[in-house]
Amino acid sequence: MVFSGYRSEMIQLNNELLVNSNYRNSLVQLQNNVTKKAALVKNITSLSASKTSWYLNELGTSVPSNILLVELKYQPLRASIKKSKEILIDTHTMHVKGISKSSTDFSKWIAFLKEQKWVKNITIRSYGKGKKTTTSFEYLIHIADEGL
């Protein structure tokens, strides 16, 4: 009878240990999620607002008159946001879409941007025919880590 009492107490303690272990694992997972999200927020806000504005201003003032920017994203998302998935962004990147009336001016503009200190690299994603007199384009500007 004594052994059976100790055995039932041991079984109860083992069950409590399993429950506590599951709670601990859940807590560790939640802490990891919070740490990842805090790192993401820090990464997004790592550049000061004035530096971001400066990059956008430099790009905007360099646009030739016969090129129209349609879309401009700073540190764009890599994929759509889903509740259970990690949010991924392209840091130090600007995504630019637009329409050009002159391929020569577009080429000169890209060459000018590549010469800027703050531009690390430019990746042209698409440059194709649009309507008869215009051509659509899309490219990524990779910003140099040292910035200015």
**Average confidence (pLDDT) per 10 residues, the chain, 148 residues:** 78 90 92 85 65 88 92 85 78 90 91 94 86 86 73
Residue 27 contacts by C-beta under 8 Å, 6 or more apart in sequence? none
Contact (CB, 8 A) for 59 and 141: yes
pTM metric for this prediction? 0.65
Task: Please give the structure tokens belonging to residue 7.
Answer: 């055995």
Q: Can you spell out the DSSP letters for 25-37?
A: HHHHHHHHHHHHH
Given CA atoms 18, 23, 27, 29 in this order, what sign does their dihedral have? positive
Domain 49-143 has CATH 3.40.50.2300: no
